[in-house]
Amino acid sequence: MEIRFQFYLLFAVDDMVEIYKGPLDVKDIISRWLDECDGRNWGAFIPFIGIVRQEDGIEALSFDIYEPILLKWFQEWQDKAQKKGAIVKMAHSLGDVPIFTSSYIAAVMSPKRRVALELIDEFVEDFKANAPIWKYDVIDGKRIYAQTRSTAMDGAGLMSKKD
Amino acid sequence: MEIRFQFYLLFAVDDMVEIYKGPLDVKDIISRWLDECDGRNWGAFIPFIGIVRQEDGIEALSFDIYEPILLKWFQEWQDKAQKKGAIVKMAHSLGDVPIFTSSYIAAVMSPKRRVALELIDEFVEDFKANAPIWKYDVIDGKRIYAQTRSTAMDGAGLMSKKD
Amino acid sequence: MVKIEFLGPIGKESIELDVKNLKDVAKELNKDENISIWLEKSAVALNDMIVNSLDIELKDGDKISILPPVCGG
Amino acid sequence: MVKIEFLGPIGKESIELDVKNLKDVAKELNKDENISIWLEKSAVALNDMIVNSLDIELKDGDKISILPPVCGG
């Protein structure tokens, strides 16, 4: 990907979760994560790279993140991965991410192929369903909550009148 | 991964299959494939990177490839991917690949996350079972067929006496 | 006093309530229609841990977060 | 004449046989114990297409490949 943006790392936790302001520098992130693999005897490394698609006239996506719960959610996955001898990593954007740039990278490193393939699938799907991140379409400079594409988290509705 | 080897591309077919003599230059390959994603409106890019593990006293793995059938096998997968709006790519090593270096990269690019996650799993598993590639352990400079880790291809046994 | 945070698109400033348990929080929040429409699809966290029951006593300084539907990636 | 190639670890030079169909090839190859032990776990390709039946007539210049168990990656 041609680099047309500056990349800002906001924070990284234990080299596992990286949050950036704006789009991700995919090549730099993948390259560093590959360096971490070196000599560690992983047999499989699978990154999932999410790229903002041009659709419905959007110029960008935009994200809010609630870090404290994101980090707890991530730590549970790290523990789950560790029991299988693997590790997980992730990078995500905060704020605006223009079309054709990346907002999300998840990755698994594992000694075994099967473990890695199953883990990346479960990790990415649970991320979509339960990581405390909110997505907005940016159209004509306005930020519109992506309501129809959003998923109620596990346990949602606890405080609803209906209960 | 620190570059300690020279990388030799032997041939590439339609920018889809790349065969190298010796280990793969993972960063270069991923970087080029990412460039190919740029502006193409893919939403998900998933590479699977296979790295040679240090185990059982091996110093390297070594590979034979029968290209004509590999390319046919690959083309069938490309057709299957295309029906789902996706594409697949692969790079593989021929000859010796030292421990801690990469011998295999498979990748899927897709508009959709679910398609990409399912396709990378099926593609890598079928690759293991049916791509005409033979693996050898290299121990003390000797090449020993990895018989117990090898899988009979679909349709194997056709010429067996027992039939 | 406990603090209630409304995350993401709810777009409402935090409030403080003088309540003793989560049920009371639910009762109070349901009084405001602009909040109650979010509650049926929102998860609830107490001090940054997602909770699955309202039968929880609260103490001074507790933080409750309301998490509307998510979509990372 | 048809050409028989032995791929990967079989480690045997190609041979040529004067045969009319795949069944005859199977019969010939099974005479050599060093080859027959591979056959029960090997796939067979005719002109680089995997075949699933021995009921196939051969013509002059055809190429048959014997593919032992694989392990890429």
- pLDDT above 70 covers a percentage of chain A that reads 93
Average pLDDT over residues A81-110: 97
Q: Burial, A10: exposed, middle or buried (Cβ in 10 Å; 0-12, 13-18, 19+)?
A: middle
Query: Is C73 within 8 Å of A103 when comparing Cβ atoms?
Result: yes
Q: Is D6 in CB contact (< 8 Å) with chain B?
A: no
- pLDDT above 70 covers a percentage of chain B that reads 93
Structurally, how many domains does chain C consist of? 1
Q: What is the rounded distance in angstroms from the CA atom of residue A76 to the CA atom of residue A132?
A: 14
- pLDDT above 70 covers a percentage of chain C that reads 100
- At B63-82, the pLDDT tens digits run 999 999 999 999 999 999 99
Domain annotation covers residue D72: no
Domain annotation covers residue C73: no
Average pLDDT over residues B27-44: 93
- B contacts of A48 (beta carbons < 8 Å): 44, 46, 113, 116-117
CA torsion angle C37 C55 C44 C23 (round to 10): 30
Query: Is B41 within 8 Å of A100 when comparing Cβ atoms?
Result: yes
Neighbours, chain A (3 or more CB pairs < 8 A): B, C
Mean pLDDT across chain C, nearest whole number? 96
Residue A2 confidence class, pLDDT cut points 50, 70, 90: very low
Chains D and C touch each other (3 or more Cβ pairs < 8 A): no
Domain annotation covers residue D21: yes
Flag whether pLDDT at A1 surpasses 50. no
Average pLDDT over residues B126-153: 97
Domain annotation covers residue D73: no
Mean pLDDT across chain B, nearest whole number? 92
Average pLDDT over residues A68-79: 95
Query: Is B49 within 8 Å of A45 when comparing Cβ atoms?
Result: yes
Give the nearest partner residue to D41 out of B128, B134, B152, using CB atoms. B152
Q: Is B142 in CB contact (< 8 Å) with chain D?
A: no
Q: Which of 40-59 (A) contact C at CB < 8 A?
A: 50
Flag whether pLDDT at B5 surpasses 60. no
In this prediction, residue B114 carries a pLDDT of: 97
CA distance B28 to chain A (A): 10
In this prediction, residue A137 carries a pLDDT of: 98
Structure tokens at B52: 């040679």
Average pLDDT over residues B126-138: 97
- D contacts of B66 (beta carbons < 8 Å): 7-8, 65, 67
Residue B161 confidence class, pLDDT cut points 50, 70, 90: low
In this prediction, residue A86 carries a pLDDT of: 97
Size of interface A-C (CB pairs under 8 A): 118
Residue showing tokens 């989560």: C22
Closest chain A residue to C43 measured between Cα atoms? A156
CA distance A84 to chain C (A): 25
Flag whether pLDDT at A118 surpasses 50. yes
In this prediction, residue A162 carries a pLDDT of: 53
CATH of the domain at C61: 3.10.20.30
Q: Are A159 and C45 in contact (CB under 8 A)?
A: no
In this prediction, residue B8 carries a pLDDT of: 76
Q: Which of 114-133 (B) contact D at CB < 8 A?
A: 124, 127-133
- At B87-103, the pLDDT tens digits run 999 999 999 999 999 99
In this prediction, residue A13 carries a pLDDT of: 72
Q: Is C70 in CB contact (< 8 Å) with chain A?
A: yes
Domain annotation covers residue C37: yes
Per DSSP bridges, beta strands D43-46 and D49-50 are antiparallel
Q: Which of 24-53 (C) contact A at CB < 8 A?
A: 25-26, 29-30, 36, 39-45, 48-53
In this prediction, residue B2 carries a pLDDT of: 43
Considering only residues A116 and A12, tell me which one the structure prediction assigns the higher pLDDT.
A116
Give the nearest partner residue to A100 out of B39, B51, B53, using CB atoms. B39
Q: What is the rounded distance in angstroms from the CA atom of residue B93 to the CA atom of residue B21?
A: 6
Domain annotation covers residue C72: no
CA distances from C69 to A123, C42, C66 (A): 18, 6, 10
B→A interface, C-beta within 8 Å? 1-2, 26-27, 30-31, 34-35, 37-39, 41-55, 100, 111, 113, 116-117, 120-121, 124-125, 128
Count Cβ neighbours within 10 Å for each residue of C25-53 and write b for 16 or more, e otherwise: bbebbeeeeebeebbebbbbbbeeebbee
Average pLDDT over residues A107-111: 97
In this prediction, residue A3 carries a pLDDT of: 42
What proportions of chain C, in percent to the nearest 5, are helix, strand and coil?
A: 25, 30, 45
Query: Is D70 within 8 Å of B133 when comparing Cβ atoms?
Result: yes
All domains of chain B in start order, with CATH:
9-142 (3.90.1170.40)
Query: Is A158 within 8 Å of C51 when comparing Cβ atoms?
Result: yes
Q: Which domain holds residue D20?
A: 2-67
Q: Are A86 and A60 in contact (CB under 8 A)?
A: no
In this prediction, residue B66 carries a pLDDT of: 96
In this prediction, residue A161 carries a pLDDT of: 65
Query: Is B51 within 8 Å of A39 when comparing Cβ atoms?
Result: no
Query: Is C67 within 8 Å of A104 when comparing Cβ atoms?
Result: no
- B contacts of A41 (beta carbons < 8 Å): 53-55, 100
Domain annotation covers residue D51: yes
